Structure 1
């Protein structure tokens, strides 16, 4: 079983290896290209908020909700994996 963590950390791929550390290239996960694009787009939006110092709490909330939704989409495509969500803006793991 793979243990993965979704996060929007600056310069990351969006998916970290929860056991061994480091980011995983999305193309190596075995998820659809449509889901890979959604993750890449979400990471770019999260990075934009990083540069705004996460000053807009409403935008951060929307991004975190999108991230949690992405976790469920990933779980659907990788049912034998454990996937958590980490909010970089809030610096906490959120329940999924």
Structure 2
């Protein structure tokens, strides 16, 4: 019985560590795709700072030249959002759900 409990505990630890990956990668990839569809093909995920707000509803991509935003729509797709509208919707720029720079997570 002890062996079963120890095995179970080890397996749960492995599962929890494995599930600790960023949950926003698919949203970030979709945001980059939307920007490419808008003609902003020079934006690269690994050469930009990316900030996720409001549980993934707004994503900002900063390529060191401009800050660009996408917003999640009711149907789950993302659309390009003008900066002035996005800045009004973001209540606190310092309160990100996730952030990365050049493809690496920025720890809070």
TM-score (norm 1): 0.28
Largest Rg, 1 or 2: 2
Relative contact order, CA 8 A, sep 6+: which one is greater?
A: 1
Of Structure 1 and Structure 2, the greater strand share is in 2
TM-score of the pair, normalised by structure 2? 0.26
Counting helix residues as a fraction of each chain, which structure ranks higher?
A: 1
